[in-house]
Amino acid sequence: MTQQAGKPFLYVVVCAAGIAADVGELIGAAQRRGWEVGVIATPVAMNGFFDTAAVETQTGRPVRSAWRTPGDPRPFPPPDAVVVAPATFNTVNKWAAGLADTLAVATLCEASGLGVPVAALPCVADALAAHPAYQESLIRLRGMGVRFGEPYSGENRDTAGFPWERGLDLVSR
């Protein structure tokens, strides 16, 4: 396990869904369980889907969304685990296809290749979840060892129902 001040390091990958506004719940739960946390967001998620300043204060680290240049130091240590929450239709499909066109998706592709435990908490509308490409992506990602939480459609606006801590349970087993 990679250690940062004696604690394992968790990457939280945040995608653009309304529920992302509550990602601080996942971060707080992870910290209470002894994790150091770094957040990587999709570029669209950075456009107001969550409070980046609050997350940076909570983690003590910058939120990453863009690749660093070759001369820049790595802002986070290697992950001991990754939780992608909320995991959107677009990110799940790109990840399964290996289309690493953003830092967030590239991080997921790389973590899977390194054998790092990865959990995904999907937030996908029912109509999109029924799409054959999405269903095939879930099968492929499960075959790669990705652990999935229960589906959440996000359509009912019940933010209290999103299983933030389930992601931590999935990477801890």
Domain range for 21 is 9-69+78-172
1 falls in which pLDDT band (50, 70, 90)? very low
Give domain status of residue 103, yes or no. yes
Give domain status of residue 4, yes or no. no
**pTM strictly above 0.85:** yes
> Any idea what the CATH number is for the domain that residue 133 is in?
3.40.50.1950
Give domain status of residue 162, yes or no. yes
E strand map for the chain: 9-14, 36-41, 81-87, 118-122, 147-148
Give domain status of residue 3, yes or no. no
pLDDT value, residue 120:
98
Give domain status of residue 85, yes or no. yes
**pLDDT above 80 for 164:** yes
How many structural domains compose the chain? 1
Give domain status of residue 40, yes or no. yes
**pLDDT above 60 for 165:** yes
Give domain status of residue 98, yes or no. yes
Give domain status of residue 62, yes or no. yes
**pLDDT above 80 for 3:** no
pLDDT tens digits, residue range 124-142? 999 999 999 999 999 999 9
Helix (H) or strand (E) holding 73: none
156 falls in which pLDDT band (50, 70, 90)? low
- More confident site: 173 or 87: 87
Share the mean pLDDT of the chain. 93
Stretch 104-132: mean pLDDT:
95
Residue 64 contacts by C-beta under 8 Å, 6 or more apart in sequence?
A: 38, 39, 40, 41, 75, 76, 103
